């Protein structure tokens, strides 16, 4: 995990994925991590309200309100601004414009919003380190009627701008429907997996719910680089979510069972 704090980890797409469990703890972790690392963060938060992320962030040691006020955090609160779409005139572009269109075309307005938020400013706010785009989450866009290919195109353009041009990072969460046979979601998940450099997959334990081990985290490095030897491509840890942190341990080595 110290891998991400180095300056070599830039221009990468990290895919968070959860199957039969809730992987949002990873989103909170990355949000607080990048804010503490003094990066400029654009957070497209479609699932929860700002205060929810703020409360969890405070437990992890960051204040989202402060970060937003001083311009480090650009926060798109999906729940609130989705209502604004309908009370605006149609000419004004809105990031969530697709909610209003009958045939959901593409997510270009959302991409324009992200690009505008993360473009380097001309004044001395170059104090921020690399820009970061965080999306929570992409699966909900499918539920809102956007096609999987449109979401993949959105991430493609974000990668071109945020990762390649601005040398920043993208972290996004997608749910794995598992047996539910959601074809669109599978195309989205697989398409994103192929575009990612690192995949973190939180899974529930195969044997069911457990009080002391909340789940299992699989780490897969997709693009071999100088950082990873061929053997270290894939790792598995088990974890337990606590109030202010998450503790990780090797499989079967939970302190509760030893």
Partner 1 sequence: MPRPFHPEGAGQLSVTPSESVRRGAERELEMLESLLALGGLVLLRDSVEWEGRSLLKALIKKSAAWLVYHDLFRDPLNWSKTGEALPEGPLGALRAMCRRTNPGPVTIALDSLSWLLLHLPCTTLCQTLHALSHQDSCPGNSTPVEPVHVLGLLHEELHGPGPVGALSSLAQAEVTLSGAMGQASAHILYRRPRQRPTHQTQWFSILPDFSLDLQRGPPLELQRHADPHTPPVDPTTQLTFNLHLSKEEKEAKDSLTLPFQFSSEKQQALLRPGPSQATSRIFYEPDAYDDLDQEDPDDDLDV
Binding-site member from 220, 237, 246, 249 for partner 1 (CB under 8 A): 220
User: Angle 197-203-207 (CA atoms, 0-180°, nearest 5)?
Assistant: 150
Strand partners, 220: 199, 234
Q: How far is the CB of 46 from partner 1 (least distance, A)?
A: 21
Binding-site member from 190, 242, 245, 247 for partner 1 (CB under 8 A): 190
Query: What backbone phi and psi angles, to 5 degrees, belong to 241?
Result: -90, 125
Q: Which is nearer to partner 1, 234 or 236 (CB)?
A: 234
Q: Which is nearer to partner 1, 41 or 158 (CB)?
A: 158
Counting contacts by CB under 8 A, is residue 79 touching partner 1? no
Counting contacts by CB under 8 A, is residue 152 touching partner 1? yes
Nearest to 14 by CA among 227, 159, 230, 146: 159
Cβ atoms of 40 and 118 closer than 8 Å: yes
Residue with tokens 């939970």: 254
Counting contacts by CB under 8 A, is residue 164 touching partner 1? yes
Q: How far is the CB of 91 from partner 1 (least distance, A)?
A: 17
3-state secondary structure at position 200: strand
Counting contacts by CB under 8 A, is residue 226 touching partner 1? yes
Binding-site member from 230, 243, 252, 255 for partner 1 (CB under 8 A): 230
Pairing of β 234-241 and β 129-136: unpaired
Structure tokens at 37: 């690392």
Please tell me the distance from the alpha carbon of residue 30 to that of residue 216, in angstroms, as a whole number. 18
Give the binding site for partner 1 (CB under 8 A): 106, 108, 111, 149, 152-153, 156-157, 160, 164, 186-187, 190-191, 193-194, 199, 220, 222-224, 226, 230-231, 233-234
């Amino acid at each position: 995990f110290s891998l991400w704090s180095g300056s070599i980890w830039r221009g990468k797409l990290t895919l968070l994925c959860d199957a039969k469990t809730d992987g949002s703890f990873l989103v909170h972790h990355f949000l607080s991590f990048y804010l503490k690392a003094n990066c400029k963060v654009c957070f497209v938060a479609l699932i929860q309200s700002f205060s929810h992320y703020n409360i969890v962030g405070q437990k992890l040691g960051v204040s989202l309100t402060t970060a937003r006020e001083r311009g480090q955090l650009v926060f798109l609160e999906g729940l609130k601004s989705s209502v604004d779409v309908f009370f605006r005139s149609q000419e004004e572009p809105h990031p969530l414009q697709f909610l209003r269109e009958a045939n959901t075309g593409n997510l270009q307005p959302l991409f324009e919003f992200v690009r505008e938020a993360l473009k380097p400013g001309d004044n001395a706010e170059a104090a921020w380190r690399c820009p970061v785009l965080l999306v929570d989450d992409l699966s909900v866009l499918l539920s809102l009627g956007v096609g999987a290919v449109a979401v993949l195109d959105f991430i493609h353009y974000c990668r071109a701008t945020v990762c390649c041009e601005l040398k920043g990072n993208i972290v996004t969460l997608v749910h794995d429907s598992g047996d539910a046979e959601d074809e669109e979601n599978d195309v989205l998940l697989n398409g994103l997996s192929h575009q990612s450099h690192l995949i973190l997959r939180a899974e529930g334990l195969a044997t069911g719910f457990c009080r002391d081990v909340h789940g299992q985290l699989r780490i897969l490095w997709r693009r071999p680089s100088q950082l990873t030897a061929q053997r270290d491509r894939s790792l598995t840890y088990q974890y337990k979510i606590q109030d202010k942190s998450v503790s990780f341990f090797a499989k079967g080595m939970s302190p509760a069972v030893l």
